Amino acid sequence: MTDLAALQALSDRGSLVDQVRDSIRAAITSGRLDPGDRLREIPLSKHFGVSTTPVREALRRLESEGLVQVHPRRGAVVTALEYAVVADLYDLRLLLEVEAVRLAASRTELDLGPVYSVLAELEQLVGQGDAAFAEADARLHRAISDLGGNRELAAEAERVHRRIQAARVRASVPGRLRAAQDQHAEIVEALRLRDAGLAQEAVRRHIGSAKENVLGVLRARAAAADEGPDAATEDAARQLA
């Protein structure tokens, strides 16, 4: 049974649909909701204190983002991302964010203030784990993509990133958040210097290392599952050690 306590209260910012969507999305991408968890309209509407109409529309929007699957009669469930899908999403994210920083570095005026603000926030979250880090991480990458001036590109890059996060928070690698934050700083410094080549290479390094780590964990889990429940349990214990 889905634990609705994992859902944050509505924020009073934006429409009811946006608030419900944001709450459910944050629970998925931070790992508080698991793949396969059911998202039923009536319990959700009671939890949030709203009618089923904004809940239904929020779930439809989350389905378009790839975070939720809506099945006839069964209702909505949190999407389970397969290895091949995660690999494809990383490749797509790489293309989008490399182009975004190229556009940003070519602009004559570049306000890095919002980026530095989120970068500082992330620095305080490095030691608090993936769930705390995930939301600010998405906001940082969106802020960087926004610098390029192409709003459609930035929105698509964020959508792909959030889908990846739903898998990444469940494939944590020790020391990864520290490495990611250092790589964030490299990207931002390259943008400050207006060095498009350096910024693009920093993005490639950042996304490439994240992809390697996440897919490595997913491969190990798949192999352990193929070997049987005892091997899978031992693998899980190693990941938590």
Range of the domain at 169: 83-240
pLDDT tier at 123 (50, 70, 90 boundaries)? very high
Q: What is the pLDDT of residues 132-175, one digit of tens each?
A: 888 899 999 999 999 999 999 999 999 999 999 888 887 777 88
> In sequence order, what are the residues at sequence separation of 6 or more whose Cβ sits closer than 8 angstroms to the Cβ of residue 221?
171, 232, 235
pLDDT in tens, 30-85: 888 988 899 999 999 999 999 999 999 999 999 998 899 998 877 899 988 889 99
Count up the domains in the chain and report the number.
2
CATH code, domain with 223: 1.20.120.530
Residues belonging to the chain: 241
- Tell whether 90 and 117 lie within a shared domain: yes
Does 227 share its domain with 153?
Answer: yes
Q: Are residues 99 and 214 in the same domain?
A: yes
Asked if 64 and 114 sit in the same domain, the reply is no
Shared domain check, 96 and 10: no
The last residue of one of the domains, among 43, 78, 113, is 78
Q: Which residue has the higher pLDDT, 87 or 80?
A: 87
Q: Which secondary-structure segment (H or E) carries 198?
A: helix 196-227
pLDDT top residue among 130 and 164: 164
Same domain assignment for residues 134 and 163: yes
Q: Residues near 84 by Cβ (< 8 Å), separated by ≥ 6?
A: none
Q: Which residues contact 151 (CB under 8 A, 6 or more apart)?
A: none
pLDDT confidence of residue 1: 60
